[in-house]
Amino acid sequence: MTQHNNNTLVDVKYLSKLYPVGQGVFRRADTFVHAVSKLNLQIKRGESVGLVGESGCGKTTTGKLLTRLIEPTEGSIEMHTDEGLVDIAHLRGKEMKTFRRRVQMIFQDPYESMNPRLTVYDTVAEPLDVQGIGTIPEREANVTDLLETVGLTPASSFLFRYPHELSGGQRQRVAIARALIINPDFVVADEPTSMLDVSVRTGVMNLMQNLADRFGVTYLYITHDLAVARYMCDRIAVMYLGKIIEICATEELLHYPKHPYTKALISAVPVPDPTYTRESIKIKGGISKPINPEPRCRFFDRCPMATKVCESNDHPPLEDKGSEHYVACHLV
């Protein structure tokens, strides 16, 4: 899957994160959890890519790898910047700090992602403060503007409130403001609306889309909710046990899924229409941890279509099965 053009912003190659199991101070580990396994992904400038999957599939880990909250075990994450290609997987020190201006994150829990002892101003201005951008009056003006943009008006009344004085939706807007204040190129949003009330969720989702258009921000939207992904994303990547098993344009994925897991996943999503009859595809077993996985398709033990081919070969590579619809399956 190598198709570079000037439009690519982030190019992830063979990204892996392995966690050792049963390691002691004097014992080396031989068992590893393959949380993310040789992941390949290209994200174009300005697009919104959704990363969906169930718990344990590695989507949150991928998000943390892309923002360098954790270090990859192997692989590279290349970002196309004005200074050329930068591999952010192995940055250190001062370069890391500069990189932090380009990639930001929006967290799931609106309350826990804000320091309860800091005001809204402090929280939103923190990136500016740490990176040494602007004088204090300039920062205040910046923050005020951005608060208005995210819908917290009048900004002056929100500027010095504490997190516990805000509602869930308001807190998440503050989180969005904080992510955007230093004009990043790329924002990873980790389930930003799953802890919000339904009527508030829509507003925040709309806001994120408007801001994406306005500021030209590229999103990686991590979620377990396919319905939300449909509304927020141009392309969706489905993850299973540390690997992307399918990725293509949103509507294409939802109407013509090719991978058996994707099909099962889509068929299991409840539909808010009592007159709609849904036939869900049965797959056996439950999600397990990818510990020292066997060299075969990761979905083999649960797949309703599994055959000998799937067992005797290694996990299938992601391949274009026609019009940019990539699937990792031997049988497609």
Partner 1 sequence: MTNTDNVLEVKDLTMHYMTRKGPVYAVDGVNFHVGRGEAIGLVGESGCGKTSIAISLLKLLPDNARIHKGEIRLNGIDVVPLTNKEMNKHRWKVISMVFQAAMNSMNPVYTIEEQILEAMRQHTPHLTEKEMNEKVDFLFDLVGLDPAFKDQYPHQYSGGMRQRAVIAMALSCDPDIIIADEPTTALDVIVQDQLLKQIREIQEQLDMAMIYISHDIAVIAEVSQRVGVMYAGKLVEMASSEAIFHQPIHPYTMGLMSSFPSIVGEKNELVIIPGEPPDLLSPPPGCRFHPRCPYASEICHEQEPEFKTHDGNHLAACWHPGGER
Partner 2 sequence: MTSITASPETGYTPLWRVRLNLLKRGLKANWATFAENPIGLFGLGVIIFFGLFALAHPILMNTVWQPRIYDPVNGFDIEIAYHPSPPSARHLLGTDPLGRDVLSQLMFSTRYEFALGLISAIVTVVIATTIGAVSAYYGGIIDTLIMRFVDLVIMVPFLPILIVMSALMPVGMLELALVIGILSGFGGTAIVIKSQALTVKVKPFIEAARIAGGGDFHIIFKHMVPNLLPIALLYMMFVVTGAIFSEAVLSYFGLTEISMSWGLMINITQVFGYILRFDTWYLLIPASMSITLLCAAFYLVGRALDEVVNPRLRQR
User: What does the binding site for partner 2 look like in residue numbers (CB under 8 A)?
Assistant: 67, 69, 97, 100-101, 103-105, 107-109, 111-117, 119, 123, 126-127, 130-131, 136-138, 140-141, 144, 155-157, 159-160, 164, 175, 178, 182
Residue 292 interacting entry, from partner 1, partner 2, none, C-beta within 5 to 8 Å by type: none
Among 24, 93, 286, 295, binds partner 1 (CB under 8 A): 286
Would you say 25 and 9 are in contact if contact means Cβ atoms under 8 Å apart?
Answer: no
State in angstroms the smallest separation of the CB of 204 from partner 1. 10
∠ at Cα 100 (145, 11), nearest 5°?
115
State in angstroms the smallest separation of the CB of 95 from partner 2. 11
State in angstroms the smallest separation of the CB of 167 from partner 1. 5
In the shown chain, the binding pattern of residues 244 to 283 toward partner 1, with x for contact by CB under 8 A and - for none, equals -------x--x---------xxxxxxxxxxxxx-x-x--x
Residue 109 interacting entry, from partner 1, partner 2, none, C-beta within 5 to 8 Å by type: partner 2
Among 227, 291, 305, 309, binds partner 1 (CB under 8 A): 227
Contacts of 314 (CB under 8 A, 6+ apart): 295, 296
Q: Which is nearer to partner 1, 63 or 75 (CB)?
A: 63
Measured distance CA(135)–CA(227) in Å, rounded = 43
Among 65, 176, 188, 228, binds partner 1 (CB under 8 A): 228
CA distances in angstroms from 139 to 32, 128, 182, 198, listed in the order given: 45, 7, 11, 33
State in angstroms the smallest separation of the CB of 197 from partner 1. 4
Q: Which is nearer to partner 2, 155 or 212 (CB)?
A: 155
The pair of structure tokens assigned to 324 is 């940019």
Residue 153 interacting entry, from partner 1, partner 2, none, C-beta within 5 to 8 Å by type: none
Q: Which is nearer to partner 2, 143 or 237 (CB)?
A: 143
State in angstroms the smallest separation of the CB of 109 from partner 2. 6
Q: Which is nearer to partner 1, 226 or 310 (CB)?
A: 226
Window 192 to 211, contacts with partner 1 (CB under 8 A): 197-203, 205-206
Site for partner 1 contains 226 (CB under 8 A): yes
Q: Which is nearer to partner 2, 155 or 241 (CB)?
A: 155
State in angstroms the smallest separation of the CB of 229 from partner 2. 21
Residue count (the chain): 332
State in angstroms the smallest separation of the CB of 96 from partner 2. 8
Cis ω on the peptide bond leading into residue 295 (within 30° of 0)? no
Site for partner 1 contains 213 (CB under 8 A): no
Would you say 17 and 65 are in contact if contact means Cβ atoms under 8 Å apart?
Answer: yes
| Interface residue list for partner 1 (CB under 8 A) | 54-55, 167, 169, 197-203, 205-206, 224, 226-228, 230-231, 251, 254, 264-276, 278, 280, 283, 286-287
